[in-house]
Structures are given as C-alpha cells and as structure tokens.
Structure 1
Amino acid sequence: MQKIGSALVLIVLGLIIIAFPLLGVIPFAILTGLAVLFLGVGLLAVGISSMGQNKGWGIAALILGILAIILGLGFIFIPSWFSFAAAIFVFIAGIFLILAGIAAIASRIEGGMVTGLIGIILGIIYILVAIYIKNPLYLGILIGLWLLITGIMTLIQKD
C-alpha cells in the first residue's frame, strides 16, 4: 500500500511539472526551486518506500531528497542563494538525476536498472539542455518525465 501511495505521489508531481513547467510568470529562480523541491519530495517518497526492500538505496534516496529540498527552498526563499548558484544551479538538478539513477542501478531492486538508466539519461539530457538551450520549460519537463516514469515503474514492480 505504501508503494502505491509513493508511486501516485511521483506520478502526480511529474504531471504537475510537465503541465506547468513555467507556472505562468513566476521568475526563473522560483521555477527552478520548485522543480528541485519536487525532485526532493519525489526522492524522499522513493527512499521511504524503498527502505523495506533495500536500505542502501532508501538511505541514498532520502539523503538526495533532503539535499534537493534544502536547495529548492533556498532558491525559492533566499534570492542570494539563487544569485550565487546561477551559474551552476541547472547542473545541480541534472547531477541529482544522474546520482539517483546510479543509486537505483546499484540498489539491484527489480526495475531499478530501467529507472536508473532513465535517470542517468535524463540527467545528461538535462545538463545538455541547460548548456545549449537554457529554457526552463524543457528543464521542468525533464524532471517531470523522471518523476512520472519513476512513479510508473514503482507501480508495475512486483513486491
């Protein structure tokens, strides 16, 4: 039951980010903070639901989730954090996706290989999009895709 709840949270968060990647006219700093915050919430959900199956992956996802939440809230509420991180903030989210992918592969849980590879690929694409396109719309969509795919993979995994 907990796995289904976590999967649904991931799917809903993914759909929200895909549907509203720019959230109207909210400044770029807040958008990035929200995307990283949602990534952190998603990682926390995955970490909590994975603790019974694989403690290593669960702890890694929890740590990454907490770091992402702290960074996301910092970007939203402390403008100087965003100013300081302006040159590297986009890469942070890409790195989180890559690290989450590596941790999922290392966990050796069923579906972890697919979810991990998707996270690594989307993280690399995220960084490339950040370098060459610099459009927050596409960056938000990539995080939304990762959350959506991870949620779906969580739902279809056997216990």
Structure 2
Amino acid sequence: MEKNGSALILIVLGLIVLAFPLLGIIPLSLITGFIVLFLGIGLLLGGVAQMGESASIGIVEILLGIIALVLGIGFIFNPGLFSWLVGFIVWIVGLFLIIAGIIGIFSKTGGSRWNGVIAAIIGILYITVGTFIADPIILGVLIGLWLLITGILMLFIKE
C-alpha cells in the first residue's frame, strides 16, 4: 500500500504542476521554488520507496530530494538566491532528473527501470528546452509530466 500511496501523491503533484505551471502571477522565483520543491518531494518519496529494494540507491535519491527541497525553499523565501542561481536552475533540475533516471535504470525492479528511462529523457529535454527556449511554462509542464508518468508507472507496473 505504501507504493500505491506514493504513486497517488506523485500523480496529484504532477496534475497540480501541469494545471498551474505558472500559478497565476506569482513571481518566477516562487514558481521555480515550488517546482523544485515538488521535485524534491518526488525524489524523497522515490527514495523511501526504493529503500526496501536497494538502500544505497534509496539514500542517493533521498539526498537529491533533500538538496532539491532546500533549494526550493530558498527560492521561495529568498528571491536574491534565485537571481544569483537563475542561470544554473535549469541545469540543476535537469541533472537531478538525469541522475534519478540513471538510478532508476540500475534499480533491480523493472518498473523502476522504466521510471528511470522516463526521468533521464525528461531531464535531457528539460536542459535542452531550458537552455534554448527558457519558457517556465514548458519547464513546469515537463516536471509535471515526470511526476505524473512516474506515479502512473508505480501504480500499474507491479513487481
């Protein structure tokens, strides 16, 4: 049931980010902060779910989740931090997704492998789109898609 609960939370978070990629007129630092915060929550949930299968992979995902949570909270409460890191945000989030994808690919379960492939592909897309287009709506949609697809795969691929 723990896996299904995590999957449902990821699906809900994905739908929230897809429905409100800009969250109205909130400044860009808040938007990015919330997106990175959701990414951190997703990585933490993935790490906790992974702990039963591989403690080392779970710990790496949890550490990435904590880093993402700290960055997300920093972006929300300190716009100056956002301004200072604005050029690196796309790379940070994209690299988190790629690293989480690689971890998923090397996981022992088949469902996690597919989650890993999806995360790595979306991470590469995130970096590419962020570098050349830099549209926060598209970047928010990519994070939403990752959360939604990961949640759906967790629900339907049983091991």
Cα offset for 1:38? 0.1
Which one-letter code corresponds to 2:123 in the other structure? G
SS of the aligned residue for 2:118 comes to helix
Number of matched pairs: 159
User: Which of 76-85 and 104-113 deviates more?
Assistant: 104-113
Which one-letter code corresponds to 1:29 in the other structure? S
Q: Contact 1:56/1:107 (CA < 8 Å) preserved in 2?
A: no
Distance in 2 separating the partners of 1:67 and 1:17: 20
1:131 matched residue in structure 2: 131
Cα offset for 1:146? 0.5
2:63 matched residue in structure 1: 63
CA gap 1:115/1:49 in 2 versus in 1, 3 angstroms: same
Q: Contact 1:98/1:123 (CA < 8 Å) preserved in 2?
A: yes
Cα offset for 1:56? 2.2
1:114 matched residue in structure 2: 114
Distance in 2 separating the partners of 1:15 and 1:91: 23
RMSD: 1.0
Q: TM-score, normalised by structure 2?
A: 0.96
Distance in 1 separating the partners of 2:18 and 2:139: 10
Distance in 1 separating the partners of 2:78 and 2:134: 22
Which one-letter code corresponds to 1:44 in the other structure? L
Ranges in structure 1 where 5+ consecutive residues have no aligned partner: none
SS of the aligned residue for 1:115 comes to helix
Q: TM-score, normalised by structure 1?
A: 0.96
Which one-letter code corresponds to 1:75 in the other structure? F
After the TM superposition, which parts of structure 1 deviate over 4 Å for at least 4 consecutive aligned residues? Answer: none
1:76 matched residue in structure 2: 76
Which one-letter code corresponds to 2:142 in the other structure? L
Q: Contact 2:53/2:108 (CA < 8 Å) preserved in 1?
A: no
Q: Do residues 22 (structure 1) and 14 (structure 2) align?
A: no
Q: Identity of paired residues, percent?
A: 54
Alignment of 1:47-62 (within 5 A): 47-62=47-62
